[in-house]
Amino acid sequence: ADGDIHAYAPVRGRIMAGLQGDTSARIFCDGLGAELVSIAGCYKVNEDLDPLLSRARVQVRLDGERLVFESF
């Protein structure tokens, strides 16, 4: 997506926001089990994610060039 992504279910596969370079893009989901998470070209793969995120509501945002994962 060029902007934000809101998924009201667990996310699998690849989820990419801010594809056109929008660093203010965010990802909101009810469980993060994706194999790849990306915002504006900054990404993390599943092996680098906390397994607890797969069972929590999550917001992903950029802080500089670092992805920040917050459960709420």
Q: Identify the helix (H) or strand (E) that includes residue 14.
A: strand 14-17
pLDDT value at position 72? 86
Residue with tokens 């397994």: 51
* pLDDT digits 0-9 by tens, 12-69: 999 999 999 999 999 999 999 999 999 999 999 999 999 999 999 999 999 999 999 9
What is the structure's pLDDT at 29? 97
